Every structure is written in C-alpha cells, then in structure tokens.
Structure 1
Amino acid sequence: MTDETQRRRPKASVRAIGNRRLQPNTLMMGHGFDPALSEGSLKPPIFLTSTFVFENAAAGKRHFEGVTGKRPGGAEGLVYSRFNGPNQEIAEDRLGVWEDAEDALTFSSGMSAIATVLLAFVQPGDVIVHSAPLYAATETLIGRILGKFGVKWLDFPAGATPEEIDAVVEKAQALGRVALIYLESPANPTNVLVDVEAVANVRDTRFGTGEDRPPIVIDNTFLGPLWHKPLAHGADIVVYSLTKYAGGHSDLVAGGALGSKAHINTIRSMRNTIGTILDPNSAWMLLRSLETLELRMSRAGENAAKICAWLKDQPKVEKIVYLGFPENERQADIYRRHCTGAGSTFSLYLKGGEREAFAFLDALKIAKLAVSLGGTETLASCPAAMTHLSVPDDRKAALGITPNMVRISIGVEDADDLIADFEQALAEI
C-alpha cells in the first residue's frame, strides 16, 4: 500500500478545463477524493478508525516528523485520528477552495478552532487587539481564560475608522507584545462590519510587512465563504463555526481555520498536541453539506432581503440592522469594498424591551426559538438574555446588545410564509 492510497486522496484534482478555472460549487462534488482509491465509492466512506497502518518503519518515522513539527507541513500520510484522517483531510481540501486559501484545518467546534488559534500564537504577557463585540464565548476566552495567564486585551468598535483603529493599536504596543489582531465581521450580534483593509493597513504601518508581524485573524462565520472573503482584503487567518452555514442543517458541530501554509502549520502543531480535530463522522456530514452551500446560502440571502424590506416599515419595529440597509456611509463603504451579499442574519430591534422581545419570540410559529444561525430553518433568539447573557450589563449596553434586540437567521422556507409568521408575532406584542 502506498502512502497515497493510504490517504484515500488523488494525486491531483482537476481544478481547470483548458483556460477555465473551475468554480468552488463545482469542485465541492469531488475535489480531494478519488473513488478508485476507495473501492469505486462515489462518496468518501466514513473512516471510523483510531489508528492507521504504516507502509514500513521509515514511513512511520517520516509521518511523525511531520506530526511533531520537526518537518513543517504535517504528516505525509495517515498516522492517528488525533492528528489527521481521510474525511477530515478531504473536508479541509474543499474548505480551502472557497477562500482560495493555501491550507485549512477542521476542528471539533468553532470555539475549539478559535481557542487553538489563540493558543498557537499567544504567550503569557502578550496583548490581543480585537474588534467589539465578539461572540460571547470568544470574549470570555480572551478576557477571562487567557487573562489568567497575564494576557491583556484592548478593543475598538466594529465600525471604527482607521484613525480609531490606529489609536488602539498604538496603546496596545505600549502594553507589551501584540500577539495578534482578532476580528469578527459582521459583529455578533450587532451586525456591524469591520474594515479589514483598514486594519491591515494599520498593522503593516506599525509593524512592517515581515513574517514577525502580528497576524490578523477574523471570524467569518456570519458571511462566509459566499459573501465575504477576508483573505483577499488583508486577513491572514480565517476562522469559522462550520456548524453554521457550512454545515447548514443544524445537525453537526464543527470549526475551521484557513490561511497560508506557514500559519496553518503553526496551528496544526497546536491542534496535534491538544487534540481539537473534527471527528470523521462530522467531517463526512460536512462534505455532504458543502455540496449545497451555494444553493442554501443564496436562497437564504434572497429570503432575508425580501423579509427585511418588509420588516423595516412595520410600526412596532424600532430599527433593523441588516447589511442591505447600511446604517451610515462608513458601513456602506465597507460593504461595497468587502462584501458580495448582505447575508441572511440580522438584528431586529423592537419598540419596547425584554417583555416585547419575549412576546414576539414566544408567538413565532414557523421560525424556531433557538440560538445558532445559518441552518435551513429560520431561527430567532434574544442575545441579551441568551448567547450574550454572560457579558456584563454595562458592556452590553455600550455595544448595543439591548433587551429589545432579536437576532434572526433566515432559512430556506418560503419568504411569504415567514413574513406571515413575523406579522402575526408582531401583533402579539
């Protein structure tokens, strides 16, 4: 058995026909897998094994040189399921296609991806600069968990100007080594965009363009990979909760990280050590979902545009924060430069407070009262009382995470049916 057979991956996948470069939605149907290497199976089998047999002792040594980091790039073949596996590697190949990334990794959850990335680059006493708000668990990880090891942080609002971003980075430099700049765009749950290009320009001006500059890491869960490609705008590493749009059916939990081979090698070494890799069954389910990613996201985006156009004129709605209706020229400019679509997740502010938000949520008949986003079904929740409950009240108020905010993720149902559902729910307030 050769190493290539052991990996159940082809030596090369067709990426172009003549001068035509194949599109990601086409490559999702077979890239990274050769049926001839798995008994002719059209789809990759699920490889439920904890360990893999080496061709010979020399091959085992060579693979472990990659796993342990003595040689960059990871193992040349399959070793042990804490390090790699056929299903995970095929999924990683296909994830990289969407962002034209050099390499990619999968993880057991979005938070395990974020934690592994942070642990790979941050040392005790370092400073993290980040946009705000972030997903509550990410803020907890940075502020409370890493804070126990002397890691400090400074933040700037998601919609900050280049001057505001620069001022925060300057302050961070005075506090210690800036390990990385962490972004989330649009911000969860306020839906405010970050100017990734401005952040990259500030970073390069202050730290230069050498390999020792702090990497820019961005959580692209809300828009990517269809509507936003941060690597093209200056980001170095993109992280995902693949549970959301990539998984897309609310039936798996997974995370991802994409970027250059050098950055991914650093992250892979940490993943190998702490064992945050995705399991083979979830990787197989993710492969299934990636085949319909463009179809699902496109339908959800079309639905959201129609529904938000209706919602913004309703008398019981205070405001709606949806990328298709930029709140100001600054957000409109970022949207034009960075995005190819407005997404299907938005923030709805109802007139009133928690009572009105809860009444609306409890009255929904089609949309489901649940956290998460990006699934085929429409979901709605109250961030202040649910996903961001652990965030201090004063910080929630400063960030606009108020009791009357409802976060809505539109699915692929009939748009007019959803409008009817929201109409009757608003009538119950």
Structure 2
Amino acid sequence: MENRYFHPESLMMSFGYKPELSEGAIKCPIFQTSTFVFKSAEEGKAFFEVAYGQREKAPNEDLGLIYSRLNNPDLQILEERLCLWDGADECAVFESGMSAISTVMLEFLRPGDVLLYSKPVYGGTDHFINKVLPEYGIKGIGFTNTEDPDQIIENLKSLGLDKQLKMVYVETPANPTNALFDLESCKKIADYFTSDEKDVVVCVDNTYMGPLWQHPLKHGADLVIYSATKYIGGHSDLIAGAVLGHSKYMKRVRTLRTFLGNMAGPWTGWLLMRSLETLKVRMTQQAENAVKVAKFLQNHPKVEKVYYLGHLEPGTAQHAIFKKQLFSAGAMLSFDVKGGEKEAFTFLNSLKLIKLAVSLGSTESLAEHPATMTHSDVSAEDKAMIGITEKLIRISVGVEHYDDIIWDMEQALEKV
C-alpha cells in the first residue's frame, strides 16, 4: 500500500497514540497519575537533562515521562494533534485561555516594554493588558483595523518607543465585532522594530476561527493562542487554553508553563482529544447554520445592523482580508437591536432554545450582552470607539436545526 498524506480530521482519531503501549485500548486511556517510574537512575537523569534544556534531544529520542506538571501522555498526544491543524512546530496546553494569554505576555514582556494590541480584544485580555500589566511597568498601546501599518510605525517612532516594543498582539476576527486585522501588516510592524538585540513577537488569538478556518502561522504570526474551552472543546464542559507556534518561541512558553504550573490536567487533555475527533463536523455545521441565521437577522425590521463575516462587501479592505486569511465566515455573529439595553435585555430574556450565557463555540447556541457582560470592564472610551454599545448582542451559533434557532430569535424579537 502506498503512503498517503491523511487530512487532519482523519488523524485526530489516532495520531501520536500507540495502542500496543496501553493494552491495545483503541482510545488513549486517562493517565491519572502525578508521576512516572523510571527504568533506571540513568534514564531519569537523561529525561531531566532534556526537560530542563540542559541538552538537546538526540536523534529519535523522545522526551521521557517524568511528572505530570512537565508532561503526561494525554497532554502530549493532544498537543501533537493540535499542531496538525495550524502547521505548528509545538503546542502547549493550559488550564484556561487566560492562563495561555497571561503566560505568553509574562514570558516575552518585561518592565519598561510596550505591547501593541488590536482593539477590540476579549474582555479578560483587555483587563490583563490595561489593569494588570501596568502594575509591572508594561504599557499597552491599542490600534484599530482602520489604521495603516506605516501610520502605526510612525506613531510609535514619534513616541520614542522603537526599543520598547516587544510584542504585537492581535485578535482577529475580534470579539465581539468580527473586525478583521491584516496579519501581514502586523508582521510588517513587528519586523520594522525587530533588531539584532530583540525580537518583536507576533501573537494571534485565533479563538473565533478555531484551528479550522484560519491559520495565522502561515501569515506571519510567531505564536497562536486559543481558548480551547471554545471550539476545540466545543461542549461547554471544560476550561482550557493552548499556545502553538515556532520552536524558538515555544521552548520559552513551555518552560514558563513548567514553573508556573498552569498546564492542563490529564482529564482535560482526554476530553479535548475526544472533542478533536468531531471538530470539523461541528464547526462545519455551525458555519452552515450561521449563514441562514445571519440572513434572517439582516432582513428583520427590529435589527439595525448585523456583524457577520459572510456579509462583507466585496471590494472593501475587510473583504480583502477575509479572502486572504479565512476559509469560512465561521459561526460567530453580533447584531445591533433597534433601541438600547432595555430592548437587548428583552430579547435575551425571551429566548427559549438559545442559552443566555457567555462563552462560545459550543454545540448549543449561546447569546450574551458584551457591554455589560464579557466586555463590561472595557473603558467607556474604547467601547464607544469600537462599537460595543448597549444595543449590541453577540450570538454563538450552535449545531441545532437552523429553523429552530431562527424561530427562537424571531419570537424573542417580537417581544422587543
């Protein structure tokens, strides 16, 4: 039989797992153990040398199992499988999306450094950048998708921040407005300020598109971050995060994870492996449902505006980015209901099938009010600038029958 390149969705069932090492079990067992037994003291020494970076792995040498804070079969196999979608060298899985985000920022930023970040970002990320990092002497400077990269470069130079810029952090599509950012432009900014003395790392939060619909590493990113709670987990039953990217940077991320101790446990790793097997099926159905839901909302008299990537006008800058970077419009959309908070709350309180809850990417459809929930801590100035208003409602489209989702929205809008 000839060798064949299998697609990632096929490899999600078996890649990295050897049944013969686990009594022939067709699925990887849950290795609910804190530590692992060495065959000899010499083997333990060799494992630690590699784990602590005292030497590089020899050809064909595997990183031996030491302790579940360092590595665990459930985590290791999961990380290998996640790399397949994004084409990453390495992956590190964390206990939450925020632990992944905060670990990356703490590793690559130091007091006096500057972080350039896209607006809007997830509310928790915004809080960390604007409330936590300043306590460590790290300054965040935001930019929108209407700003030209050359303009941003000149602005940073005029502020005398050439040497301080250490990271460009981008969330695209942005939560909750679906604003798109050109990753090649972000890379251009990072490259301009990179020198022999320092790298400027490009980090992309790809949670809205999941590993399926956008691959930032192919557009200049150095690291990709996911809240694995969302599409990767996909069932609203776990909390996790993931960072993927080039070995040069991942070695640093994994090392800090080891000493912060914020890796995901074996049970979470096992659940995520289960979820990866249906990732493409789930996300494909969700994206198909979103097309029909967005069309319904666009034509409803009580809806002022719909923020959906499938409705971008051809010939616009946003549409050009969409065609270049994305494979699908995805299943996240937001809309402005006519009115304000009162009308938005009436809609949300009237839903019967769709769940009023934060989070996204799960099998069930979810709805929330960003201005008072996920993005409540974003400054009033930034909310006004990026369109997080009292009339904005965010929808994560699930796998239910689209007729039922639309019926629920229709009856809820009638109450408004």
Give me the TM-score of the superposition, normalised by structure 2: 0.95
**Structure 1 position 46 matched with structure 2 position 30:** yes
Residue of 237, 257, 272 corresponding to 1:286: 272
Partner of 1:136: 123
State the alpha-carbon separation in 2 of the partners of residues 388 and 300 from structure 1.
24
Partner of 2:240: 254
1:347 is paired with a residue whose SS is strand
Structure 2 CA distance for partners of 1:426 and 1:141, relative to 1, 3 Å: same
Residue of 120, 123, 131 corresponding to 2:110: 123
Query: Would you say the 8 A contact 2:65–2:71 is kept in 1?
Result: yes
Partner of 1:242: 228
Larger deviation, residues 17-26 vs 391-400: 17-26
After TM superposition, give the deviation of residue 172 of structure 1 in Å: 6.4
After TM superposition, give the deviation of residue 60 of structure 1 in Å: 1.5
1:183 is paired with a residue whose SS is strand
Structure 2 CA distance for partners of 1:338 and 1:169, relative to 1, 3 Å: farther
State the alpha-carbon separation in 2 of the partners of residues 133 and 121 from structure 1.
21
Q: Which consecutive residues of structure 2, in runs of 5 or more, have no partner in the other structure?
A: none
State the alpha-carbon separation in 1 of the partners of residues 56 and 304 from structure 2.
53
Larger deviation, residues 211-220 vs 133-142: 211-220
Query: Would you say the 8 A contact 2:167–2:190 is kept in 1?
Result: no
Structure 2 CA distance for partners of 1:364 and 1:76, relative to 1, 3 Å: same
Structure 2 CA distance for partners of 1:171 and 1:42, relative to 1, 3 Å: farther
**Structure 1 position 161 matched with structure 2 position 148:** yes
After TM superposition, give the deviation of residue 168 of structure 1 in Å: 4.5
1:324 is paired with a residue whose SS is helix
Structure 2 CA distance for partners of 1:401 and 1:75, relative to 1, 3 Å: farther
After TM superposition, give the deviation of residue 75 of structure 1 in Å: 8.1
**Structure 1 position 67 matched with structure 2 position 61:** no
After TM superposition, give the deviation of residue 203 of structure 1 in Å: 2.1
1:249 is paired with a residue whose SS is coil
Identity of aligned residues (%): 46
Partner of 1:26: 10
Residue of 376, 384, 394 corresponding to 1:397: 384
Larger deviation, residues 44-53 vs 393-402: 393-402
Q: Which consecutive residues of structure 1, in runs of 5 or more, have no partner in the other structure?
A: 1-16
After TM superposition, give the deviation of residue 169 of structure 1 in Å: 4.4
Partner of 1:183: 170
Query: Would you say the 8 A contact 1:345–1:409 is kept in 2?
Result: yes
State the alpha-carbon separation in 2 of the partners of residues 406 and 383 from structure 1.
7
1:380 is paired with a residue whose SS is strand
Query: Would you say the 8 A contact 2:231–2:362 is kept in 1?
Result: yes
Larger deviation, residues 160-169 vs 80-89: 160-169
After TM superposition, give the deviation of residue 256 of structure 1 in Å: 0.3
Structure 2 CA distance for partners of 1:193 and 1:72, relative to 1, 3 Å: farther
Query: Would you say the 8 A contact 2:113–2:164 is kept in 1?
Result: yes
Superposed CA RMSD in Å reads 1.8
Partner AA of 1:58 in structure 2: E
Partner AA of 2:396 in structure 1: S
Give me the TM-score of the superposition, normalised by structure 1: 0.92
2:211 is paired with a residue whose SS is coil
Provide the aligned length of Structure 1 versus Structure 2: 412
**Structure 1 position 346 matched with structure 2 position 333:** yes
After TM superposition, give the deviation of residue 213 of structure 1 in Å: 2.1
Query: Would you say the 8 A contact 2:191–2:200 is kept in 1?
Result: no
State the alpha-carbon separation in 2 of the partners of residues 367 and 106 from structure 1.
30
Partner of 1:6: none
Partner of 1:227: 213
Query: Would you say the 8 A contact 2:70–2:258 is kept in 1?
Result: yes
